[in-house]
Structures are given as C-alpha cells and as structure tokens.
Amino acid sequence: MTVTDNGVNVQALLDAREALKGAPEAARFTWRATSKWDRGVHSTTTIENFYGLGAEQSHKAKTEFAADHPEVFAAEDNGITPIEYLLVGLAGCLTAGVASVAQNRGIQLRSVTAVVEGNHDIRGILGDPDVRNGFNDIKVTFDIDADASKADIEAIVAQSQKRSAVFDALTNPTDVTVEVA
Amino acid sequence: MGDSVTTVVVGAGHAGLAASHFLRERGVDHVVLERGQVGNSWRTERWDSLRLLTPNWLSRLPGQDYDGDDPDGYMTMAEVVAFIERFAAGAPVRTGVNVTSVRRTDEGFAVDDLRCRSVVIASGACNVPVVPDFGDLGVHQVTPFDYHNPDKLPDGGVLVVGASATGVQLAAELRAAGRHVVLSVGEHTRMPRRHRDRDVLWWMHETGLWAQRYDEVDDLDRARRLPSPQLAGGLEVDLNTLTDAGVELVGRLATVRDGVALFSGGLRNVCSLADLKANRMLAGFDEWAGLTDRVPLEPTRVPAKPRLRLDLGGGEIGTIVWATGFRPDYSWLDLPVLDDRGRLRHDGGVTDIPGLYALGLPVLRRRRSTFLHGIEDDARYVVDHLIRTSRGTFDQSVSEAR
Ligand SMILES: Cc1cc2nc3c(=O)[nH]c(=O)nc-3n(C[C@H](O)[C@H](O)[C@H](O)COP(=O)(O)OP(=O)(O)OC[C@H]3O[C@@H](n4cnc5c(N)ncnc54)[C@H](O)[C@@H]3O)c2cc1C
C-alpha cells in the first residue's frame, strides 16, 4: 500500500475540528492587513499579525504586498491591481482545499494548476451607474494530474469550493464597515 | 395529586404509536399523550396536494403492512392519517393533552402532573418551520405549515427559498398554477424518482443502504443534518424539470440588504456537488446489482448568469415561501439533554438521563429512522432497552402489568 503524501497534515486539521467543538471562542480569528499610501495609486500593504486561538499570533515573517495599477491605467505598475489580489486569494484557497481534500481522501496529487480569470467591466469604477464596480463573473479552470478518476477529481474540486473561505467571501455578501479613525 | 404510570410516550405520530405497540407487547403499562389527534402533524401541518415520498408497498408499521390495491402509489395525507389511525387501535392514547413540562423526580419523571419511570420522546422532528431572520421584508411570507395551495397565496410571483423536498414540490405546484417562480437553491440532495425503471426507494431499500446503522455511518452529524431529497410522491421533480417548466433558479439566499434579496454566486457548486453525490449513489446501486454500465443523470442545467439580486419591493414577487427546513420543539422539556445548538443528545435513541428515550429523529438508529417503515427496529430497540435497564427497580410494575 502506498501512502498518500500531498504534504497536508490532515490529521491536525481533523484534530483541530474536534478540539474547537468544545471551544468556539478559540475558533474566532481576525485577519489583519495594514496599508500605507506611497504615491499615486501605489500603496504597500503589510501583513504580520493576526488573532486566533484566543491570543495574538504572528506569521514567521512579515510580508509586504505592493498594489498599483497597470500602465494602461496611466499608472506606474509598481505592483498588481488590488482586484487581482482577490484572484490570488481565490486561487490560493481553492488550491489548498484541493490538496487537503485529496489528502483526506487518499488521493496522491502530481500537479495542480489553476487559471483564474475575473471578467471586469471597468466602466463601473469610472462612474457608469449601470455597470457594477466589481467582477461580473469569475472563472477558475483546474488542471489536475492525480491517481484518480475524472469524477473523483471533480468531486475534490467541488468539495474544495464548499469549504473555501475565499469562495464564500466572493460569492456571498459580507457586511463591510469603513470608518475614519 | 397526579396519576402514575410506568412509561409516558409523548406524541401519537407513528413513532409514539410504534413505541406503544412494543410496550403493549411487552406488557409495560403506559400512556401516549398527544396534544392534538392521532397523526396530528399529517392532519394539520401539511399542504393539500402532499403525498408521501415512499411508495405504498414500503408503507408498513409493526404488524401492519399496506394492503390496498395500489402498492406502487403514494398516499395522500388523508390516506396516511387513516393508515396511522388504524395502527393506533388499542393504544392507550390520551388526545388533546399538550405536554408542557417534563421534570426529574426521585423515582423518574413528572410529565406535567403524571408521574412515571420512563419517558419516550416521540414528539416529532419537524415541529417548527425554520425561517431565517432578515428583519422586516415588507412582503407576504408563508411557511410550509401555512401554505395550503396556490389559490390561497396573494397574486403575483413567488420566491421559494430552499430546494429540498418541500421547496421543489411547492415551486412545481406554483409554476403549474401559472405563477412566476424564482427558486433559491442552497445545498440539496438530488434523487431521481426512478433508476433503471424502479423507484429509487426500492434501490435504497433493497441494497440495504437505508438500513445502514447510525454507528456505521461515516459522518453521523452530517447524515443527521442532510437536507430531504428532491423527491415528490408520484411525479418527477428536479431542478431540470423545474427549469423546463419555467422556474428561475438562483443561488442560496444569503441576505437581504435595503429590501433587495442577495443570492449566493455559488449555485453552480451546490449543483455539481449534488450531481456528483447522486451519481455516486446510483453507481453504488449498479455495483450492488452487478451492472457495469452506468446511467448518469443529466447534469443540472444552471443558468449561464444566475441572478444575484431580486428587489423584494419591485413588484416581481408577492410572496416568499420559506422551504428552509424544520426543527423539533423541546421548549416543554425541562431536562439538560440538549446540546448547544438545541438538538437532543442521544446515542441511538438512548439519552444520558436514565429512563429518557427518543424516537423519530433523523438517522436515530438507521438511515431510514424517520420513515414509516423505519420505526419498527428503532422502537423495538428502545423499548427493549427501557425494559432491560429498568429491571430490578421497575421489575414489579412490569410483571404486574403482564
Ligand atoms: C412537509 C413535510 C413533509 C414530510 N413528508 C414526509 C414523507 O413523505 N415521508 C416521511 O416518511 N416523512 C415525511 N416527513 C417527515 C414526517 O414529519 C415524519 O416522517 C413523521 O411525521 C414523523 O413521525 P413522528 O411520529 O416521529 O412525528 P409526528 O408525526 O410529527 O408526531 C409527533 C406527535 O407529537 C405530538 N406532540 C408534539 N409535541 C407535543 C407535546 N408537547 N405534547 C403532546 N403532544 C405533542 C404532535 O402533535 C404529533 O402528533 C415530512 C415532514 C414534513 C414537515
């Protein structure tokens, strides 16, 4: 018998689920990002700390993300467009889900590639009231090489969406408060 | 003051009556307390056109098989009530007795002012329709308990929220009555009425899937929360037949903001999950039958651009039908047996309070537990357990009653 190893510690995740059953407080996480305007439409966002398991936590290292707009937007392109970060989040989340679900189902992955395309009519952000600001729709195409049938792979991808935080955040409305401190 | 009896059964649906059947067989003196009439839920909490999901040949209760002339048919509510009433013959039912309190006493329990040593909770799993709270919506709303037929709804379109057995049936009925219908679809259980020319419940039954025990089910918590299957007694309904009939599918109702209903963009995902699971179930049936070819279901046709918003005040719809599920009501139970989500804690119908039992809850002891034919094993087990564990202390009353 070969052992499936996608590098995901599924047991730890299952243990966490059990442990949190009796401790809903510990399950409350707050993710944090701090952004600073640089110049023009260029800003730098830093992520280092978050809250969870009842205490302040930090990543191994601080990460900086540059956000800007491309030259076709008459900007300097010092980093990716903010809306592209949503694609990064969605791709990262669904891919993590695919690896975890496959691990849990004993399916060895050889390669997983996802192409994420968000269709965006920019007339909305330019002020056209009949066009929405955000994506019109998003399409994710997975190319997966694994020891599994097509139906099993489809099931993994479907389950990954079902458990995805970013898929949920993008497909369902979220209450957002923006204030001036 | 107060009478006493060995066992009190709360509820005279088929579950409580099955408990009574075995209690009588074993000579345990007991009463069945029922707030309404025998089969009250079927009499007072169902819509006019509803038929049982299970074919008649599967409608059986301990010692009572279906003996009519339409074994492949599906009972109307009047027929279900008659079937249960027949089963109630000889049961010590006190009707019109609403249990408002169950407390512990030194010897057992006090059910209002009736003292007893054991209690079987058979008050039903679907006492209260679950309706999400989105505040004041300014539109007429009904639950499946107030819905009777399309004519009783105000004119105009209908938003049906929920696509399990109730939601798909009501969407089909309202559309057939000429209404504009939008159906909000969350997670659901797809199940074709027929597979390879046989009722799908024949397959559930014959393969043994339905008899699977609760302690053999992979994820029991999930199995107990599974949405009811998209089935109707007699006719074929699924999201594709509804689309063909002109029902508009939208995603799960996520929230209502400024009078606008916002639907999830995850419709395609819930449909593909349901398709995959349904096909996996059918493949399992085929494997059991030794068949190697497969007859996969037509994939659910999801609209190319499912609508994400519906202005509730815009005149498009006049009514919301909440087909968002049901929950039991335990407000009368003054015992610490509910978990933090209000569900009764039990192990196959046995609670951790000695002498307190439950029947009629989803996957109580088997996958078929809530269906008519599923009660026999469960009720026999629970009554056995009740008698076994009461031996010694309650021996006397048991032998006296014999
Ligand atoms: C819309 C709808 C459709 C359904 N369709 C099907 C179907 O097709 N097939 C199927 O198998 N199941 C169906 N069900 C599930 C159905 O409820 C159960 O199968 C069946 O009614 C369960 O029987 P029971 O005896 O457990 O509960 P019930 O039939 O609900 O009996 C419980 C009894 O307890 C009484 N009661 C409750 N609280 C008290 C109290 N405090 N004091 C005194 N009496 C009390 C009630 O009045 C009721 O008579 C459906 C449910 C709903 C809501």
Cα B199 to ligand 1 centre (Å): 24
Suggest the residue from A119, A172, A177 to mutate for an interface test with chain B (most B CBs closer than 10 A): A172
Q: What is the pLDDT of residue A1?
A: 54
Q: Measured over all CA atoms, what is the biggest interatomic distance in chain B, rounded to whole angstroms?
A: 70
- Which of B251, B257, B273 lies nearest to residue A158, judging by beta carbons? B273
ipTM of predicted assembly, 2 dp: 0.84
The alpha-carbon gap from A93 to the nearest alpha carbon of chain B, in Å, equals 15
Structure tokens at A143: 């190319």
Task: Give the confidence band of A3 by pLDDT, cuts at 50, 70, 90.
Answer: confident
For residue B268, give the chain A residue with the closest CA.
Answer: A158
Residue corresponding to tokens 């098989």: B65
For residue B279, give the chain A residue with the closest CA.
Answer: A151
- Report the distance separating Cα A65 and Cα A49, nearest Å: 15
- Which of A154, A170, A173 lies nearest to residue B276, judging by beta carbons? A154
Contact B255 A173 (CB under 8 A): yes
For residue B255, give the chain A residue with the closest CA.
Answer: A173
Given a cut of 90, whether residue A19 has pLDDT beyond it is no
Q: At what angle do helices B77-87 and B14-25 cross, to 10 degrees?
A: 20
Given a cut of 50, whether residue B388 has pLDDT beyond it is yes
- Nearest partner of B394 among B113, B108, B74, judged by Cα: B108
pLDDT mean over A84-106 = 97
Cα B12 to ligand 1 centre (Å): 9
Task: Give the confidence band of B396 by pLDDT, cuts at 50, 70, 90.
Answer: very low
Q: Cβ(A116)–Cβ(A180) under 8 Å?
A: no
pLDDT mean over B234-259 = 96
pLDDT mean over B286-312 = 96
- Nearest partner of B103 among B368, B334, B317, judged by Cα: B334
Residues 266-325 on B with a CB inside 8 Å of A are: 266, 269, 272-273, 276, 279-280, 305
Give pLDDT tens digits for B133-161: 998 899 999 999 999 999 999 999 999 99
The alpha-carbon gap from A90 to the nearest alpha carbon of chain B, in Å, equals 13
Give pLDDT tens digits for B91-144: 999 999 999 999 999 999 999 999 999 999 999 999 999 999 998 899 999 999
Q: What is the pLDDT of residue B394?
A: 43
Give pLDDT tens digits for A106-122: 999 999 999 999 999 99
Q: Residue A64 forms beta bridges with which residues?
A: A46
Q: Which atom of ligand 1 is nearest to the CA of B51?
A: 8
Residues 80-139 on A with a CB inside 8 Å of B are: 137
